Amino acid sequence: MNAHAVLQRYIDHVTIAILFLLHWQSSVFFQSFFQHRYGAHGQFTMSRSWERIFHFMAWLTQGSSYLSPRAYAILHRMHHAYSDTPKDPHSPIQEPNVVKMMLRTGKIYSGIKEGTLEVESRFDDGRYPSWPLLDKTQDGWGWPLAWGAAYTLFYFAFATHWWQFLLLPIHWFMGPIHGAIVNYFGHKVGYRNFNGSDDSRNTLPFDFLTMGELFQNNHHKYGQSPTFAARWFEIDPAYLIMRVFAAFGIIRLKGTQVARAPSRVTGSRISIPVPANAD
């Protein structure tokens, strides 16, 4: 193999790795930033034009597993209201395993999206982004299959080993995989800053996996805080990007709630009182 061939092989390897990391991080960023923090919670504001740009970016980066902002917002508001109770759409405490938990989530999400599930009016107040042209692309199998085919073609063009094709299902089902990680581990594994009524946890102090979504314990305590980090050592990558957006005037964070942790971390066996001013 000559030097050029070796270099080409290296570039192809890196191309697959870059594609995978880019798809993983961008799709979970827009899910956290757009559907979750902006759509479901309204933690910050932006102009109509920027809302459209970010809506399009969410559609583009989430591709085959794009989430309807309306269905996501309603489902997620139900999660906050009924966290870890029998009415929670996705609680690892109520379900025996992650597969059953995600099947229940998928069923409730589809029911909301298709209008076959009756939802409480407080969860469906019309305050979420809506763009029927994009949102309807997930109604059938056409667009998800087209996205899946596009990812597959990319692998045919750049994969250098057969085992790289094993990554393809992760691209096809990236949204549900992120959801399974956050909803299962975020209420099952990790430490707690706040002893609330649910089982939410902070799974990683630096959430490099899901752009800050694994600070579930902080987020359940401060649902309106755009930052999910509440301690000096906690790093919420999506919030760092949002600070840049705010510095350029793209989003407005002014006057929003800020998550703050009590004086020390509580482990599963240690409990400390939640400060009276925490709300």
Q: Could you tell me the smallest distance in angstroms from the CB atom of residue 222 to Zn ion? A: 10
Closest to Zn ion by CB, 20 or 38: 38
Alpha carbon separation from 261 to 229, 233, 239 (Å, rounded): 9, 11, 17
What is the total count of residues that contact Zn ion (CB under 5 A)?
Answer: 1
**Dihedral (CA of 61, 67, 69, 74) sign:** negative
Closest to Zn ion by CB, 84 or 135: 84
Closest to Zn ion by CB, 94 or 216: 216
Closest to Zn ion by CB, 16 or 180: 180
Neighbouring C-beta atoms of residue 198, cutoff 10 Å: 20
Q: Could you tell me the smallest distance in angstroms from the CB atom of residue 146 to Zn ion? A: 30
Which SS3 state, helix, strand or coil, does residue 172 take?
helix
Supply the DSSP symbol for 139. Answer: S
Told to check if 138 binds Zn ion by CB under 5 A, we report no
Q: Could you tell me the smallest distance in angstroms from the CB atom of residue 7 to Zn ion? A: 46
Q: How far apart are CA 50 and CA 31, in angstroms?
A: 16
- Using CB under 5 A as the binding rule, the residues of this chain from 159 to 218 that contact Zn ion are 216
Closest to Zn ion by CB, 202 or 216: 216
| Interaction mask 215-234, Zn ion, x per CB under 5 A | -x------------------
Q: Which of 138, 105, 124, 129 is nearest to 35 (CA)?
A: 129
- Helix, strand counts (H, E) of the chain: 10, 2
> Which residue in the shown chain puts its C-beta closest to Zn ion?
216
Q: Could you tell me the smallest distance in angstroms from the CB atom of residue 184 to Zn ion? A: 10
Q: How far apart are CA 213 and CA 236, in angstroms?
A: 8
Beta bridge partners of 192: 266
Q: Could you tell me the smallest distance in angstroms from the CB atom of residue 60 to Zn ion? A: 23
Q: Could you tell me the smallest distance in angstroms from the CB atom of residue 84 to Zn ion? A: 8
- Using CB under 5 A as the binding rule, the residues of this chain from 71 to 130 that contact Zn ion are none
- CA 65 to chain CA centroid, nearest Å: 12
Q: Enumerate binding residues for Zn ion (CB under 5 A).
A: 216
